[in-house]
Structure 1
Amino acid sequence: MTQPILTHTYYSDFFATKGYAFLKHIAEQYPTPKKFTIFSVMHCYEGSLPYINVLAELAENLVFIPKSATATGNQSFKTTIEALPTCSVVSEAYNKQQLRDPHVAEALIREHIDADSQFLLLDHGGYFSHAIEHLCDVFREQLIGVTELTANGLYKYLNSNLNKPLVTVSHLSIKAPADYEASECIVHYSDQILREEFGLKLNNDNFLKVGVIGAGNLGRGVIQYLKGKAISNILVADIDPRKLTQFPRNGVQVSSIERLVSECNMIFCCTGNGAIPEALLDSIPDNRFIATVTSADDELKLPQLITNGALTEVGGNRLVREYQTRNGRSLYLLAGGESANTPFKTGMGDPTLYLFEAAHMLAGLQLLNQPERFKSGIQPLSDSDERAIAKQWLQHFYSYC
């Protein structure tokens, strides 16, 4: 058997090997047919290589679709993946925007399957959501089903009329630890970007007042790590007032989104879906720094804002992208408008990454091996499967017994 290509850097292989062994153990419980293709949308993170290795061993053909946020400037990562015997990386012609066209998505799939091949779509961020009804129709006998990793990706599928099963792992409790890990990274790297590009520190109250829009796992995690940096004057907003009731007793100010955008000049957007309404941008004060937990395309509806003239790009670099509002106010998107941990190596040294990867993979393997368990339309991975993953993870990494 070919030795897995786990990382770019040998000094990370010890941890990566443990992650690979965990995922491999779960995968071995399910056989796969000879003619079988997996289309996997994933970030170009070094920490994802163990997972990619396991997927490549499961399928006759693994088609890797890089997420736009981490694909640019990561050619060496894509070259590493292409070295796997059964793995191929799609061309830049098949990016998130192009795959909105059902016929482009169909063409991608036809490039990589035979007439009698079955295939799975392991989606991450709703890349196939705009084309899914068409794909379900034209590949009725070959498409096994879809799995979706994220909440904002699931949102894009909600109004689809699906005649195939879609299994979501976005709201599993075992995903929460990874969300908190992401929150820590986002706070840390936002601070680093502010220092590098503007000479500012997150915890300098004289220059920055911090607000968080969104009180889900990621928003709560961001607040936790902001408080760990001795930032006490934090505002939090959410469209659902029930989510805000937990904060006043913990010394965090609750706020409307309107007040938060008006008063805070460092804003963490943690909703995954249009955190700041377009109408507010016309009255936003000058010099707002914004970090997003997902791509600004989703978190701020950035393409729509640009099309409508609400924002105009005026400059920037890999770490900061600068925009102006209709009124000439400056708005700075940290990390170039992507999640603030995407410009940096992430996922190494943190085994929580493997929890949601295992769930994502398991959902696909069950669609393949136990189709009778699923019906057409959206459904979650079962509680019993989630508990089984958690138990195996604790045993593997923490000697749980």
Structure 2
Amino acid sequence: MTALEDFEISRAEAFFRRVTGRYAAERGVSALVITHLLGERPAFLRAVGRMAEVAAVLPKPKSIDPAAMEEITGQMPVDELDRAAFADPGHALAYLESRAAGQPVVLLDVGGYFAPSLADLCGRFSGQVVGVVEDTENGHQRYEALGASLGKLPCPVFSVARSPLKDPEDYLVGQSVTFSAEALIRSRGDILQGRPAAVIGYGKLGRSIAAMLHARHVGATVFDSDPVQRTQAMSQGFRTASTLAQAIAGAGLIVCATGNLALREDDFARVANGAYIASVTSSDDELELEALDGLYVRTASGPHVTRYARTGHFFYLLADGNAVNFLHGASVGAFIFLVQAEILAALGTLAAVGAGPGSLEPGLHELDATERSLIAATWLRYFDGTP
């Protein structure tokens, strides 16, 4: 992946200093940071370090830039991230004790990794779980479901997943997913044009993907389990399907953009011969691939393209079912700094109030509109392209 130029790093650092300068550094607070460790991420992690003691960085395994990993490993503790291990309350608690025993700690999450064990962490940790900051819609839904099952979340959870500051990132991620899917299809000597597409999920990413496919002159059919989303897709000129089976029937490209389980075992049998399947997130979230073990033979069919075949049926899976855009850096330019700044502001808010008297109520929280406006105005000063 291409390294950032020195001036780009300096500009990002200056922006983050301006944002973090509005919050008092709380050296008594620790932070565990789950993150996509991409090329621009060290500047963000150093900003986190100005607001809290970074107990550990946990890079998402499918999105690690080697140069960024080398840089951060020399500055902060870095540990391996394992979703199954963090889903075990005993393991999660032991890990937290090993890194931040007795400390107030904020958990920075990307995808709800801490959700399965959060109640145990809040109730049994020797320190204090001050709160969580969650970045993704998938993670937002995991914490929302946890709160519903418990009756109340065990601590404050700041979500930036539905923030207007995340809209530019979501739009550009959808563009990058389409770009990467097309690049892999072309690596086989194939093209997008001439193969109808199905977009499963019409949230912010799905909308962007459908729009990009339309711009590439590829007809797309949209399916979303929410009828409201389907009406929106129809109003924007897309064909819609009332069932998943209808959407994928005859599709030459299927893009899963639900953030949840999109294709189950029975659904794969309905995939057209020669179709390509791509995902916007982890294969664990979108695709029931384990159910295909023993049913299909897997063979490599080009860089990051796997052919699944059984008698009379075959299809291609891109990037092993993981977020296809990370193969090409998943870059959204400087717009990613808007989201990272909101994460920093949420961290600063949690660190300032702590877990004692005057702390935030347990439950889902969002940054208020005034704070978001200040972040956007500051971002424009650094990144609007004017001299």
In the superposition, the TM-score normalised over structure 2's length comes to 0.89
- Equivalent of residue 286 in structure 2, options 269, 280, 299: 299
The one of 160, 169, 183 aligned to 1:192: 183
**What letter matches 1:201 in structure 2?**
I
Is contact 2:265-2:292 (8 Å) kept?
A: no
Shift of 1:134: 0.8
Q: 36-45 vs 339-348, which deviates more?
A: 339-348
1:324 positional shift: 4.9
CA contact (8 A) 2:97 2:126 kept: no
Q: Give 2:22's aligned residue.
A: 29
What is the 5 A alignment of 1:379-398?
Answer: 379-398=365-384
Maintained 8 Å contact 1:124/1:149:
yes
Tell me the distance in 1 between the aligned counterparts of 2:47 and 2:297.
Answer: 41
Unmatched runs of 5 consecutive residues or more in structure 2: none
Q: Is 1:134 paired with 2:120?
A: yes
What is the aligned counterpart of 1:167 among 158, 168, 193?
Answer: 158
Report matched runs for 1:1-400 at 5 Å. Answer: 9=3, 12-71=5-64, 74-84=65-75, 87-90=76-79, 92=80, 94-115=81-102, 117-139=103-125, 141-160=127-146, 161=150, 162-196=153-187, 198-202=188-192, 204-205=193-194, 208-231=195-218, 233-256=219-242, 257-300=244-287, 302=288, 305-307=289-291, 312=296, 314-316=298-300, 319-324=304-309, 329-347=313-331, 350-371=333-354, 372=358, 374-398=360-384
Instruction: Judge conservation of contact 1:44–1:70 (CA < 8 Å) in 2.
Output: yes
Aligned counterparts of 1:328 and 1:68: Cα–Cα separation in 2: 35
CA contact (8 A) 1:67 1:96 kept: no
Instruction: Report the CA distance between 1:389 and its aligned residue.
Output: 1.8
Deviation at 1:370, TM superposition (A): 3.0
Equivalent-residue separation in structure 1 for 2:215 and 2:84 (angstroms): 38
Q: Distance in 1 between matches of 2:117 and 2:234?
A: 43
Deviations 1:354-385 (A, max 9, x none): 11111112112101113536211222222222
Structure 1 SS opposite 2:316: strand
Distance 1:275 1:133 in 2: 28
- CA distances 1:135-171 after superposition (whole Å, capped 9, x unpaired): 1111274211111110101212223233211111111
The code of the aligned residue for 1:241 comes to P
1:315 maps to amino acid: T
Superimposed CA distance per residue, residues 3-42 of structure 1 (whole angstroms, 9 cap, x where no aligned partner): xxxx983x52322322221122111111233333211111
Residue 201 of structure 1, CA deviation? 1.2
Deviation of 1:76 (Å): 4.0
TM-score of the superposition, structure 1-length normalised?
A: 0.86
Contact persistence 1:278–1:310 (CA under 8 A): no
Return the alpha-carbon distance in structure 1 between the equivalents of residues 138 and 234 of structure 2.
27
Shift of 1:107: 1.9
Counterpart of 2:319 in structure 1: which amino acid?
A: A
Cα offset, 1:287, TM superposition: 2.6
Quote the Cα distance in structure 2 between the aligned partners of 1:322 and 1:108.
38
Preserved CA contact (<8 Å) 1:194 1:201: yes
* 2:33 and 2:54 in contact (8 A); partners too: no
Moved more, 31-40 or 216-225: 31-40
Distance 2:373 2:317 in 1: 38
* Identical positions, percent: 26
Shift of residue 386, structure 1, vs aligned partner: 2.1
Equivalent position amino acid for 1:370 in 2: V
Gaps of 5+ in 1: 1-6
What's the CA shift for 1:346?
Answer: 3.5
**Structure 2 residue identity aligned to 1:80:** E
* Aligned-partner Cα distance in 2 for 1:249–1:366: 40
Range with greater deviation from structure 2 (215-224 or 285-294): 285-294
User: In the TM superposition, what is the alpha-carbon distance from 1:313 to its structure 2 partner?
Assistant: 6.3
Letter in 2 for 1:298: D
Query: Contact 2:197–2:252 (CA<8 Å) still a contact in 1?
Result: yes
**Paired letter, 1:194:** I
Once the 2 structures are TM-superposed, how far is the Cα of residue 81 of structure 1 from its aligned partner?
Answer: 0.6
Question: 1 CA distance for matches of 2:275 and 2:295?
Answer: 13
Residue of structure 2 equivalent to 1:3 = none
Relative to structure 1, the CA distance from residue 164 to residue 324 in structure 2 (aligned partners, 3 Å threshold; closer, same or farther) is: farther
Change in Cα spacing, 1:249 to 1:165, as seen in structure 2 (3 Å) is: closer
1:253-301: CA deviation from partner (whole Å, max 9, x where unpaired): 112321111121201111111122443223333233111111121122x
**Are the counterparts in 1 of residues 298 and 309 from structure 2 also a CA contact under 8 Å?**
yes
Q: What RMSD, in angstroms, separates the aligned Cα atoms of the two structures?
A: 2.5
Measured in 2, the distance between the counterparts of 1:24 and 1:312 equals 52
SS, match of residue 263 in structure 1? coil
